Homo-oligomer: A and B are copies of this chain.
Amino acid sequence: MKVAKFGGTSLANAEQIKKVCDIVLSDSDRKIVVVSAPGKREKTDTKVTDLLIACAEKHLATKDAKAELEAVVKRFKDIADDLKLGNEIIDEIKTDLENRLKLDTSHKEVFMDAMKAAGEDNSAKLVAAYLNSIGKKAQYVSPKDAGLLLSSEFGNAQVLPESFDNLKMLKDIDGIIIFPGFFGYTVEGNVATFPRGGSDITGSIIAAALKVDLYENFTDVDAVYAAHPGLVNNPVAISEITYREMRELSYAGFSVLHEDTLVPVFKAGVPVNIKNTNNPTAPGTKIVLSRDYTPSTHVVGIASDDSFCCIYVSKIMMNREIGFGRKLLQIFEDEGISYEHTPSGVDNISVIFKQNQLKNKDVEQRILYRIKNELNCDDVSIDYGLALILVVGEGMKNTVGTASRATTALANASISLEMINQGSSEVTMMFGVRQSEAHKAVISLYNEFFLKN
């Protein structure tokens, strides 16, 4: 059995939906289909989810969102008409949207989540209706009926553990299941959504719950590439990558999958295949537990992420002071700051974190003051505008010479290294550079590991 998830561009219009259904019908193992809301039909188009957000906000502000509601209905109607589905399904969708607008608005985030989820929910109904219209056995299943329970962190919900047992009921349903992505229900019965892009997460949870053979994630690209196509010309496609490698790349700017997507399938050991709806015969990228590698394929990708800052702390004899590091991190915890790395020397330590967490100059000054005074430090300073560049690949740690190749490539490109961090993760070597040098750094590392072989 396979779970196949389709992204927004794969459901943007009738033609795309037909492609999706062709793909689903071409393999009888594709039993569960998770769908996104209709995405952009062309570059300047607006996604249905964004139309829904605009509609909800207009309603909250003026109680009159008729025009915005009509825009959403029109998107669905255009698709239904092109699929020759008749008016019944559109009436159903319109009623659904009107009912959502009548919901209690006293908790804005609860209302917003109910509105945002309408895109996926009605997209799933539409696909099921189309499959039925061409004589195929298919049915929409609501996350509520399937027991997909989420935490009440609206807009950023987490799956509750009991969902995995609940979802096993999907096995007993006959025919193809069309399941809306992106949302579930709280224990109290409210709609709650994952972060944007969260349909990937829905697919992963179902795949894990049912321990299916494969989780197929259909997008609009042929594969995951070894570097971001916006940074490197025609990067090579990755045919096979491990979960761990993919997690590290996702962390640093590889946005093919939502960062949280891989957790459920990784824990359940279900392999993932990233494929292209518009080119379904291409092999795509397989995400697996382990892969074979040779010295020339041990690096799988180069990623980068920027807008980091670094607080540098020095205190002579720091390394003798038991509890120093813990007290330092306590200050960051008190300020709700999630840090990334803490490289340290003999008498000094740096804390690296996303700079947007320093909401204003006061927070920055308070943190620096507390470190200096509570920890009695000699010197405390802050530096903004760092980028982290990741060289990712299984087995790299044990391949003599990878660090040498990487640092030599960076040196040849005259890039000054602010930081090197290798040693915990067995799959990543991390370099800190000035943000202005990040692009050049990615290119030089890509050339070294992908063009030289």
Question: A residues touching B (Cβ–Cβ < 8 Å)?
Answer: 244, 247-248, 251, 260, 263, 266-267, 312, 316-317, 319-323, 325-326, 329-330, 332-333, 336-350, 397-398, 400-401, 403-404, 406-408, 410-412, 414-425, 427-430, 432
List of B residues within 8 angstroms of A424 by Cβ: 312, 342-345, 348-350, 419
Contact of A337 among B322, B341, B343, B397 (CB under 8 A): B322
List of B residues within 8 angstroms of A322 by Cβ: 333, 336-338
List of B residues within 8 angstroms of A408 by Cβ: 404, 407-408
CB distance from A228 to the nearest CB of B (A): 17
A266 to B266 CA separation, bound complex (whole angstroms): 52
List of B residues within 8 angstroms of A406 by Cβ: 407
CB distance from A207 to the nearest CB of B (A): 16
Question: B329, A263: Cβ atoms under 8 Å?
Answer: no
Question: B423, A418: Cβ atoms under 8 Å?
Answer: yes
Question: A340, B319: Cβ atoms under 8 Å?
Answer: yes
29 contacts between A and B (CB under 8 A): A244-B347, A247-B347, A260-B317, A263-B317, A266-B316, A319-B340, A320-B338, A322-B338, A323-B333, A325-B342, A326-B326, A326-B332, A329-B329, A340-B344, A343-B343, A343-B422, A343-B423, A344-B421, A344-B424, A345-B428, A347-B425, A349-B424, A400-B414, A403-B420, A404-B411, A406-B407, A407-B408, A419-B423, A423-B432
Question: A420, B421: Cβ atoms under 8 Å?
Answer: yes
A317 to B429 CA separation, bound complex (whole angstroms): 18
List of B residues within 8 angstroms of A350 by Cβ: 423-424
**Given A404-B404, A404-B411, A346 and B251 touching (CB < 8 A)?**
yes
Closest to A345 in B: B425
Total identical chains: 2
List of B residues within 8 angstroms of A428 by Cβ: 345-346
For the complex of A and B, list the 4 residue pairs with the smallest distance between their C-beta atoms, beginning with the closest. A345-B425, A419-B423, A401-B411, A343-B423
Interface centre among A332, A346, A401 (most CB of B within 10 A): A346
Contact of A425 among B346, B421, B430 (CB under 8 A): B346
A343 to B417 CA separation, bound complex (whole angstroms): 17
CB distance from A332 to the nearest CB of B (A): 8
List of B residues within 8 angstroms of A266 by Cβ: 316
Question: B421, A423: Cβ atoms under 8 Å?
Answer: yes
**Given A320-B338, A348-B424, A407 and B403 touching (CB < 8 A)?**
yes
Closest to A419 in B: B423
Question: B421, A403: Cβ atoms under 8 Å?
Answer: no
Closest to A317 in B: B263
List of B residues within 8 angstroms of A329 by Cβ: 323, 325-326, 329
A261 to B401 CA separation, bound complex (whole angstroms): 38
Closest to A321 in B: B338
A443 to B355 CA separation, bound complex (whole angstroms): 41
Closest to A401 in B: B411
Question: B425, A423: Cβ atoms under 8 Å?
Answer: no
Question: B411, A403: Cβ atoms under 8 Å?
Answer: yes
Closest to A339 in B: B325
Closest to A320 in B: B338
CB distance from A343 to the nearest CB of B (A): 4
If A263-B316, A326-B330, A419-B423 are given as contacts, then 9 extra A-B residue pairs at C-beta distance below 8 Å, sorted by A number, are A247-B347, A248-B345, A326-B329, A326-B332, A348-B424, A404-B408, A408-B408, A420-B422, A421-B423
Closest to A263 in B: B316
Closest to A342 in B: B342
Contact of A404 among B247, B410, B422, B425 (CB under 8 A): B410
